[in-house]
Amino acid sequence: MLEKIISTSDSKTTILIRFIVGAVFLSEGIQKFLFPASRGAGRFEKIGLPSPEFLGGFVGTFEIICGLLLLIGLFSRLASVPLIIIMLVALVTTKSEVYLEEGFWELLHGSRTDWAMLLGSVFLLIEGSGFWSLDKRLMNNGN
């Protein structure tokens, strides 16, 4: 099971996707604690999610941990799963209203970062951490 989680390609460019996705999620997670009224519990309450106080900390913690894992390239496949879920929930809860009120083009404009983070996370789930990662070192030490 561990072999499937840490398996990765020899791609040397995957680090670019890992760094941008990891840095954005790390930053967003930290901001949920620094600015809870606008980025964490307050935002979750505004969009009508249940238990916003709990969810703010829960999501923020996952974003920080998974963002750090991506940055160092450890368990990137596993770390990408909660991030994909977070992005799908974000798209449904925040962008469906934009679509209904302002239309398709405003939806695309307002969700470009969401799509980039979602697709970057899906890429890492499929591809793994790449050549310059702790996963690659672990994989090579196992052989």
Q: Pick the closest to residue 119 from 29, 17, 26, 10 (CA basis).
A: 17
Contact 8/128 with Cβ under 8 angstroms? yes
Buried b (16+ CB within 10 A) or exposed e, 70-91: bbebbbbbbbbebbbebbeebb
Phi-psi region of 106 (alpha: psi -120 to 50; beta: other; left: phi over 0): alpha
Query: Number of folded domains in the chain?
Result: 1
Residue 63 lies in a domain: yes
Residue 120 lies in a domain: yes
Residue 143 lies in a domain: no
Residue 143: its pLDDT value, please?
Answer: 61
Residue 141: its pLDDT value, please?
Answer: 86
Q: What are 120's two structure tokens?
A: 């970057």
Q: Pick the closest to residue 83 from 110, 55, 120 (CA basis).
A: 120
Residue 28 lies in a domain: yes
Q: How many residues does the chain have?
A: 143
pLDDT of the chain along its 143 residues, tens only? 888 889 998 999 999 999 999 999 999 999 999 999 999 999 999 999 999 999 999 999 999 999 999 999 999 999 999 999 999 999 999 888 889 999 999 999 999 999 999 999 999 999 999 999 999 999 998 66
Residue 142 lies in a domain: no
Residue 16 lies in a domain: yes
Residue 83 lies in a domain: yes
Residue type (1 letter), 13: T
Say what the alpha-carbon torsion angle 23, 58, 78, 91 is, to the nearest 10 degrees.
Answer: -70
Q: Give the residue numbers spanning the domain of 40.
A: 2-137
C-alpha distances in Å from residue 12, one per residue of 17, 69, 98: 11, 17, 38
